[in-house]
Amino acid sequence: MHLVVDRQGMIRGLYDEAVDLAALGEVHLSRASQVEPDANGDWWADLQPVRGPKLGPFARRSLALAAEQA
């Protein structure tokens, strides 16, 4: 799990259960992206909630999830 700590002590990272985040302090979770299919059945990873791009199309959801995490 990769965590980033800013100068104010705020920690950010992709959610993973590898680390007990509550041990680091108060936890606030928010959605950073959405992985959804389009009308053609292709999958997209939309990173707009964190001001990122829309990745895709992908033939399988697992590929969109991998691109989202990368």
Query: How far apart are alpha carbons 38 and 33 in whole angstroms?
Result: 15
Q: What is the distance, to the nearest Å, from the Cα of residue 32 to the centroid of all Cα atoms in its chain? A: 5
Residues 5-13 have a mean pLDDT of 91
Q: What is the distance, to the nearest Å, from the Cα of residue 68 to the centroid of all Cα atoms in its chain? A: 6
| pLDDT-based confidence at residue 14 (cuts at 50, 70, 90) | confident
What confidence score (pLDDT) does residue 37 get?
97
**Cβ atoms 12, 1 nearer than 8 A:** no
Angle at 30 between CA 53 and CA 56, to 5 degrees: 25
Residues 24-48 have a mean pLDDT of 93
| pLDDT-based confidence at residue 70 (cuts at 50, 70, 90) | confident
What confidence score (pLDDT) does residue 57 get?
98
Instruction: Locate the domains of the chain by residue range.
Output: 3-69
Query: Taking Cα atoms as reference points, which of 70, 15, 65, 66 lies closest to residue 37?
Result: 65
